[in-house]
Amino acid sequence: MAVSSLRCIQSLGFSSRGRAFFPVGDCSRANARKSMNCRLVFASAKNSDRDLCVESKVETLLDSVKWDDKGLAVAIAQNIDTGAILMQGFVNRDALATTISSRKATFYSRSRSSLWTKGETSKNFINVHDIFLDCDRDSIIYLGKPDGPTCHTGSETCYYTSVNDFLEHKQIEGSRQALTTLYSLESTISQRKAELAVPQHVKPSWTKRLLLDSKFLCSKIREEADELCRTIEENEHGTRTASEMGDVLYHAMVLLALKDVKVEDVLDVLRHRFSQSGIEEKRSRGQQNEA
């Protein structure tokens, strides 16, 4: 690129909307068209350099993976919001490189000897937000958000058979997801809500009482929130704070169930706020309300 062209550019950056901007230096109005051309050439050169840099880094990353004797490594897809393990497959260099560039979870089919992207048939893609390698660099995690059920059976994940249930000869209707504590609680609350559709001949459980009386539920949330605040006002031990937070969380989750809102929906909102300041987020709420 000619040195004279560089004088037309002071800096290159990106606006908050993600569009490139090019502040102009000593280019005059008479040379506006020439200035625009030098900007485009400079932007193209910068993008090319950046792409080459990224490509070089990807190759270095791929070289660092400990592929097995068939050129494969294990890849696990995990839900970025719930933490649920969605599925496991195998990847080779091309599959991992494709995932990095497309942001769609891509694997290597050992039976077909070809790449395949999860969702290419069902449209239930796994949108990859980040990729992690383990300490030995022979196992990979695709951390992403699924568009729908991951398993070909229609289940949310491919992991729904409990070994403990099998060993204890428990009869489980349908499939039971491998749920963490938070989602096990959500599942129990949802089950109690479903049971309300059947006539009750016994005294309702505490969860059912809350589900049946929204005013009572709201009063309990306010009460538990106040008790949580008092743990800091009265300088109580951290274990007390954890206990009171547990009460707030439980009662709030009952309210979510009553409103047919999932914990995953809440976590999705929080994740999208990571890149926003509190001021921007509050402003956007006002704009949504006006709309």
Q: State the SS3 of 216-283.
A: HHHHHHHHHHHHHHHHHHCCCCHHHHHHHHHHHHHHHHHHHHHCCCCHHHHHHHHHHHCCCCHHHHHH
H or E segment to which residue 205 belongs:
none
Span 95-112, average pLDDT: 97
The CATH class, in words, for 73-146 is alpha beta
Q: 180 vs 252, which has greater pLDDT?
A: 252
Distance CA 109, CA 101 (A): 19
Is pLDDT at 207 greater than 70 in this prediction?
yes
Confidence of residue 288 (pLDDT cuts 50, 70, 90): low
Structure confidence at residue 168 (pLDDT): 84
Q: Find all residues with CB under 8 Å of 152, minimum gap 6, and list them.
A: 122
Domain residue extents for the chain: 2-64, 73-146, 179-260
Distance CA 46, CA 13 (A): 11
Structure confidence at residue 278 (pLDDT): 65
Find, among 192, 187, 193, the residue nearest to 174 by Cα.
187
Which CATH number is associated with domain 179-260? 1.10.287.1080
pTM of the predicted structure, to 2 decimals: 0.68
Does the fold of domain 179-260 match that of domain 73-146? no
Span 208-237, average pLDDT: 97
Phi-psi region of 133 (alpha: psi -120 to 50; beta: other; left: phi over 0): beta
On whether the CB atoms of residues 30 and 57 are closer than 8 A, the answer is no
Dihedral over alpha carbons 109, 114, 120, 122 (to 10 degrees): -40
Distance CA 139, CA 66 (A): 8
143-176, pLDDT tens digit by residue? 999 999 999 999 999 998 888 888 887 766 555 6
Span 256-270, average pLDDT: 95
Is pLDDT at 11 greater than 60 in this prediction?
no
Q: Which of 26-30, 49-53, 190-194 has the lowest mean pLDDT?
A: 26-30
